[in-house]
Structure 1
Amino acid sequence: MDETLSMTAPARRARTRTRTAHPRSGSRAVRAALVIGTVIVLGMWWLTVPAGFAATPANALTSIGELSGMVGGYLVCAQVLLIARVPWFENAVGLDRLVSWHRSLGASVLFLIVAHVLFLVFGGELADKNPPWTEFVSILQSYPDMLTALVGTIAFLVVGLSSARLIRAKLSYEVWYWLHVTTYVSIFLTFLHQLSGGAHFVSDPWNRVIWIALYLGTAAAVLTWRVILPGLDAWRGRMRVVTVIPEGEGVNSVWLTGPRVEQLGVKAGNFLLFRFVSWGHLGTAHPYSVSAVPANGYLRITVGALGDHSSRLPNLRPGSLVFVEGPFGRFTADRASRARTLLIAGGAGIGPIRALAEELVYRGARPVVLYRARSTQHLALMGELQNMPGVTVIPLVGRRSQLGYDPLDVEPLRHLIPDLHDWEAFICGPEGMGERVEASLRALRMPKRFIHREELSMS
């Protein structure tokens, strides 16, 4: 069986679900819904704000603090809803853009949370003539559920900081994942404070009803589309590990099988969330791209040992149970619109690039693959690529310190393919490599809309 599985999967079109296109009108509709929600929150604040809300600097600062807290509370729900897998949002916008919006809103939420605390403290400081620290302690002691709100706020800040690029690069996926899970706890803790201590909710029952409906609706959406329905799908589509095959230095392929593998609708370039029921894997679901689309009841992923989870994959035993969610992502051949296609892979990024190459050949294209690796031992799946008819593979091997230059800089790329401005590119590899290649392609006058980069992310 292992010998059969190590061979290239048959060049055939995977059975796929029809995906709704993401027109601009859908994106505008979602944006409009977010704006309307913000306007409603502003109206809730305006209709219940005291007549003298700006009579003194202290009152004005306090009112701004209350407003920032309300808008921040609304945007937290909006941020969660964007990645709650709500079908209307995904069909209207697309998952990749929703994830981008989710991240952008994260910075706004953090800003508003900090502003909420600071403006309330400064307003109270002016009114009570207390130093800031004394006023902060006074607020904690004077309002109900403030300690839980403080814990929730600190957790929000920690999660937000963990998403910063420099910090995120130093965290394992497992740590980052569980930090983000605490966001739901943080939302619950701060929600209690808003109802019991928020001036615009304590004094107005309609505002309380609207706010409770907003948070209950958000919780229902998360439970429905992120927990219950995916859980049922994962159980029905559960898979088993067939074998793990070393492909190169630090790169392994995992072959999987299951009764509904070919009904998942996986396309070349898609990724899925895999939860292996095995020691060291059960705690988190990791995103991995397919390196061979479902065929003959089998699916393959090819993974580099880049973290605790991926480094343990060689220890998986045949027969281990696997739950999957997906497919996700738009890094697919459907986006190819030019006659000439360049596929650029680095490290374990060769997995989805290999699947894309096979799909493009099936569609009649003749892609060129630039394969960047530190050494020949790191050229995983090289034999499969070289055996694909119609695929030209150019290995770019060696460390920059050894070569004296970067093979993915402007001049080396210009030398390899002189007319890159007429090509379309798909890039998959480490983030730094992706940014460098994209900059080089833009310098060579390739329009941005023809440069596609894979992103394995749901948050």
Structure 2
Amino acid sequence: MTTLSPPPAPPTAPIRPEVVARTGLYALLAANVAVVTYFFVQAGFAGNALIVLGRLAGLYGALLMAFQLLLVARLPWLDRRIGMDRLTLWHRWTGFALVWTLLTHAVLITFGYAEGTGMDPVSQLVDLAETTEGVLRAVVALGLLLVIGTVSARWARRRLAYETWHFTHLYTYLVVVLAFSHQVATGSTFVSSAAARAYWWTLWGVALGAVCLGRLLLPLWRNRRHRLRVTAVIPENDHVVSVHITGRDLDRLPARAGQFFLWRFLTKDRWWQANPYSLSAAPDGRTLRLTAKAAGDGSAALRHLRPGTRVFAEGPYGAFTTLHRTRPGTLLVAGGVGVTPIRALLEELDGPTVLIYRVAAERDAVLHDELRDLAHAKGAELHLVTGPATPDRLTPAELARLVPDVTDRDVYVCGPPGMTSAVRRGLRELGVPRAQIHFERFSLAG
């Protein structure tokens, strides 16, 4: 039996939540750039032009490092409005900017001091590391950052297991500690201004506090409160399984249809591994359900979970929700097992709704019976589109044929990356405004 949750009304505010959050982040960064520049100018310009520019690059690098931490702190307010996928992507590009900024800092400072002493740059760097407090720590931090930046490059990331990449990435926190200790020891603003010292201590305290709150304290508190456990494991077909979970006070868990959790099932062989799975049913305050396809050891092991298994869940995460609706009508486009958040959204949506479900063959249509019954109950249209992945069946012409008023609807797309990209291109060709196209990249590593 399907329990229908009361659907929230589409937002009526003239400014979209994503725009509010994104503008807030830009304004926060710009304001801090202005503050850093002010304190830098106030401290005076000691040294030649290379040293002056190098110090400014170092301060901007410290600011970017703190901003990077904020982007991956997984703060609920930001995540619901922007989404973990976009925040992680911004974190990635900020990281590359950080590497170049700090590399510029090191090169300019080294060449600047070498110009004054007459030493060659390598000898000058060695001399600074040996004689100036904090410089050796900064050199080690920069070396670690270069390694992390290298393994985060797309060509390297594709060749590494997620666990290897993640473990290497944890050294970023060591980089933060080493870099900040260097800044405290040698930064001119720390020496010349009490206000600047207070600013930097506050900046780093807020950035690290946000990470501690979002990634440690909040998950620990929620799991202690809700005490999640597996209640049933139901195979949907030979490759897909649904896991039903219950707990205490789930009506107070701020989860919405379309969101996902990082699920950690506390068995002796899998307790250490967390995997992202979307909710495949709208939260009803009593139970949660995820549906996953066996694509690796972690997802394949779900079939063997036993009722009563304890669960540690981080989340909910994601902006793939009805919070971002702009129109009364909706088009849902799902591909393969990407139907799971789409099925949850269909349960929550009100207004004229069309669902297009793209699969290779009808036997691959996971949860199809549920979708059919739910569509009938809500008066929604359901189109099952079958056929090989190439040539693409969801062309702009096909989308326009199935949904003639597509430009007047919000469109939610979830499926394999190739299908999602093709559908988004098709929607833009049809003139659907970007603000009405909602999608999410389900990738923790950006």
TM-score range, shorter chain: 0.7 to 0.9
Q: Is 1:435 the equivalent of 2:435?
A: no
The alpha carbon displacement at 1:75 in A equals 2.1
Length-normalised TM-score, structure 2: 0.85
Check the 8 A contact 1:249/1:377 in 2, yes or no.
Answer: no
Matches within 5 A, 1:47-446: 47-51=42-46, 53=47, 59-85=48-74, 101-202=90-191, 207-248=196-237, 250-295=239-284, 297-360=286-349, 363-365=350-352, 367-388=353-374, 389=376, 390-401=379-390, 405-446=391-432
Q: Is 1:40 the equivalent of 2:35?
A: yes
Q: Distance in 2 between matches of 1:81 and 1:238?
A: 28
Q: Distance in 1 between matches of 2:45 and 2:351?
A: 69
The alpha carbon displacement at 1:89 in A equals 6.0
Check the 8 A contact 1:177/1:284 in 2, yes or no.
Answer: no
Q: Distance in 2 between matches of 1:150 and 1:166?
A: 26
Check the 8 A contact 2:83/2:320 in 1, yes or no.
Answer: no
SS in 2 for 1:248: coil
Matches within 5 A, 1:24-39: 28-39=23-34
The alpha carbon displacement at 1:189 in A equals 1.9
Greater alpha carbon shift after TM alignment, 126-135 vs 274-283: 126-135
Match in the other structure for 2:5: 12
Residues 162/238 of structure 1: CA separation in 2 closer, same or farther (3 Å cut)? farther
Q: Which amino acid aligns with 2:385?
A: L
The alpha carbon displacement at 1:440 in A equals 1.2
Q: Distance in 2 between matches of 1:160 and 1:311?
A: 32
Match in the other structure for 1:5: none
The alpha carbon displacement at 1:113 in A equals 1.6
SS in 1 for 2:283: strand
Check the 8 A contact 1:173/1:307 in 2, yes or no.
Answer: no
Q: Which amino acid aligns with 2:26?
A: R
Match in the other structure for 2:438: 452
Q: Which amino acid aligns with 1:22?
A: P
Residues 40/425 of structure 1: CA separation in 2 closer, same or farther (3 Å cut)? same
SS in 1 for 2:276: strand
Q: Distance in 2 between matches of 1:15 and 1:32?
A: 30
SS in 2 for 1:12: coil
Q: Distance in 1 between matches of 2:429 and 2:384?
A: 22
Greater alpha carbon shift after TM alignment, 286-295 vs 351-360: 286-295
Across the aligned residues of Structure 1 and Structure 2, the Cα RMSD in angstroms comes to 3.3
Check the 8 A contact 2:233/2:244 in 1, yes or no.
Answer: yes
Residues 332/211 of structure 1: CA separation in 2 closer, same or farther (3 Å cut)? closer
The alpha carbon displacement at 1:171 in A equals 4.0
Greater alpha carbon shift after TM alignment, 187-196 vs 339-348: 339-348
CA displacement 1:258-306 (0-9 Å, x = unmatched): 1222321322112223222124543344332100123472210112334
Q: Which amino acid aligns with 2:254?
A: G
Greater alpha carbon shift after TM alignment, 212-221 vs 94-103: 94-103
The alpha carbon displacement at 1:256 in A equals 0.7
The alpha carbon displacement at 1:457 in A equals 6.2
The alpha carbon displacement at 1:195 in A equals 1.7
SS in 2 for 1:245: strand
Identical columns (%): 36
Q: Distance in 2 between matches of 1:214 and 1:265?
A: 29
Q: Which amino acid aligns with 2:309?
A: S
Check the 8 A contact 2:387/2:393 in 1, yes or no.
Answer: no
Q: Distance in 2 between matches of 1:23 and 1:373?
A: 31
The alpha carbon displacement at 1:357 in A equals 1.6
Check the 8 A contact 1:346/1:428 in 2, yes or no.
Answer: yes
The alpha carbon displacement at 1:86 in A equals 5.1
Q: Distance in 1 between matches of 2:203 and 2:250?
A: 37
Residues 396/115 of structure 1: CA separation in 2 closer, same or farther (3 Å cut)? farther
CA displacement 1:379-415 (0-9 Å, x = unmatched): 21122112221343333334335xxx11133344345
Match in the other structure for 1:4: none
The alpha carbon displacement at 1:170 in A equals 4.3
Q: Which amino acid aligns with 1:72?
A: G
Q: Distance in 1 between matches of 2:62 and 2:144?
A: 15
SS in 2 for 1:253: strand
Q: Distance in 2 between matches of 1:357 and 1:423?
A: 14
Q: Which amino acid aligns with 2:440?
A: E
Residues 393/219 of structure 1: CA separation in 2 closer, same or farther (3 Å cut)? same
Check the 8 A contact 2:18/2:82 in 1, yes or no.
Answer: no
The alpha carbon displacement at 1:70 in A equals 1.0
Residues 418/33 of structure 1: CA separation in 2 closer, same or farther (3 Å cut)? closer
Greater alpha carbon shift after TM alignment, 208-217 vs 345-354: 208-217
The alpha carbon displacement at 1:142 in A equals 3.5
Residues 457/38 of structure 1: CA separation in 2 closer, same or farther (3 Å cut)? farther
The alpha carbon displacement at 1:354 in A equals 0.9
Q: Which amino acid aligns with 2:330?
A: T
The alpha carbon displacement at 1:438 in A equals 0.5
Q: Distance in 1 between matches of 2:157 and 2:383?
A: 32
